[in-house]
Structure 1
Amino acid sequence: MMRKVCAMLFSISLALFVIWIYLDTHTQSGDFLTQYYINNFVVDTWAGNAVASIYLNYRIFDSIFETLMLLISVTAVINLSWRKDNEQ
């Protein structure tokens, strides 16, 4: 029982930390970033389409980390949902 409480407290504190980081670093992209993508996507990525270059080159790490977070979340849910009959 104590193990589950510790895991729950750790999960809640980690979630609050992630929310705090997100709220602290939330910025708006301005016209400079938009113009940079439009003017330099061919030179940076060699893609013929600006949308494809943004999704496949500029945002690749974002997609990889989203997939990694989904995998960790599913693993945690499966691990915490297993019933152990020998626990008291």
Structure 2
Amino acid sequence: MPKPEHPTDPDVEISASATARELRFHARPEVTVHAEAEPGGECAWGSDRTNLPDQVEPNVTYRDIRIDFRVAAALTDPTQDPSSP
């Protein structure tokens, strides 16, 4: 399972996995990830792929694939003054 580099001690972690015997793309997908921890929190995400490149090619059949994805966030207390110790 992928482990985001930061935060090192997250308050929240969400992970997901997907597998397929065969996967074929008719067009190159446009994928974006947006994860945020407000105010002043820290957030990171990462994925591991098996038998599936980072940039897939259209009309290529990928076999026995697995994708593991994880997002992690360290939260802050919104009632605490960030300048106080």
Instruction: With the length of structure 1 as denominator, give the TM-score of the two structures.
Output: 0.28
Bigger proportion of residues as helix: 1
Question: Which one has more relative contact order, counting CA pairs under 8 Å at least 6 apart?
Answer: 2
Instruction: With the length of structure 2 as denominator, give the TM-score of the two structures.
Output: 0.28
Bigger proportion of residues as strand: 2
